Amino acid sequence: MSQPTQSATPSASETPTSVSQPLLSVRNVNVGYGDTQVLWDVSLELRQGEVVALVGANGAGKSTLLAALSGLLRVWSGNIDLAGRDITRMSAERIVRLGMAHVPQGRRLFSGLSVEENLRLGAYTRRASSKSEITADLDRIYTLLPKLRERRQQLAGLLSGGEQQMVAIGRGLMARPEVLLIDELSLGLAPTIVDDILAAIDAIHQDEGLAFLLVEQDVQIALERADRGYVLENGRVALSGPAQDLLRNEAIRTAYLGI
């Protein structure tokens, strides 16, 4: 793998990423909690506008990888680059400002705040944005996820699981990221709700060319939408490749799809 060149410009959003250079590049990451290692030499790439699935069983280390990527967990060794900048030891806030937002597993909304207040919190890193820009972005999210417009004044804690997931994704989008990491989008939600949310994600992907890392225990849901996929097993990348190939892979069909 070639080493992306260091960028001298101050912000990722001002740094056009060339087609040949991955937007997100993870190389040989080792990380864990206390003395317990969870991820072993994990490497992964995400290119501009790509949808990549990261799949694996419960406990494989998917959320741990997202925590490491978004600056919530300090990596032991290895490197993480975003748009050619080394973000391995940057703060979570700085990483969001550089263009990577994280929709965490379990959504972590402020249940006592309204839908709109939660969405506005997603823009907290955008100090330079004017009121009218924020209002325009809220409107764009309400257009993509019309349920949220109806519910804009309701307390987030009173919403259904699907609506809460929409708020969490909308909050991530309010940071105007180039990369959105979504952890367990489908977990605990009815299939029709999952379809609605995935349709909104497709629309965002078409409109804005955002890159998505879809992290899922539901291997089929993620691989059906993705360009490429990585299978994490016991903290190691066991397989990777075009999503369609992974869906046809005998070992994956047996282990994860029950076929």
- Provide the CB-side half-sphere exposure for 230 (13 A, CA): 22
Least Å from the CB of residue 216 to Mg ion: 9
Output 61 or 71, the one with its CB closest to ligand ADP.
Answer: 61
Distance CA 123, CA 84 (A): 24
Output 31 or 210, the one with its CB closest to ligand ADP.
Answer: 31
**Using rule CB under 5 A, residue 63 touches Mg ion:** yes
Which residue matches tokens 């016991």? Answer: 234
**Using rule CB under 5 A, residue 7 touches Mg ion:** no
Strand arrangement, sheet containing 211-216:
100-103, 179-183, 211-216, 51-55, 228-233, 236-242
- Judged by CB under 5 A, the chain residues 84 through 113 that form the site for Mg ion are 105
Does residue 250 contact residue 218 with C-beta atoms inside 8 Å?
no
Output 22 or 104, the one with its CB closest to Mg ion.
Answer: 104
Q: Using CB distances below 5 to 8 A depending on partner kind, what does residue 10 bind out of Mg ion, ligand ADP, none?
A: none
- Judged by CB under 6 A, the chain residues 47 through 106 that form the site for ligand ADP are 56, 58-64
Which residue matches tokens 């249940």? Answer: 111
Least Å from the CB of residue 201 to ligand ADP: 20
The dihedral of CA 140, 141, 142, 143: what is its sign? positive
Least Å from the CB of residue 232 to ligand ADP: 7
Instruction: Look at residues 42, 45, 48 and name the one whose alpha carbon lies nearest to residue 62.
Output: 42
Burial grade of 227 (CB within 10 A; 0-12, 13-18, 19 or more): middle
Output 115 or 215, the one with its CB closest to ligand ADP.
Answer: 215
Output 62 or 151, the one with its CB closest to Mg ion.
Answer: 62
**Using rule CB under 6 A, residue 130 touches ligand ADP:** no
Least Å from the CB of residue 235 to ligand ADP: 7
Output 5 or 234, the one with its CB closest to ligand ADP.
Answer: 234
DSSP β-bridge partners for residue 86: 81
Least Å from the CB of residue 101 to ligand ADP: 18
Give DSSP secondary structure letters for 61-72.
SHHHHHHHHTTS
Chain contacts with Mg ion (rule: CB under 5 A): 62-63, 105
Chain contacts with ligand ADP (rule: CB under 6 A): 33, 38, 56, 58-64
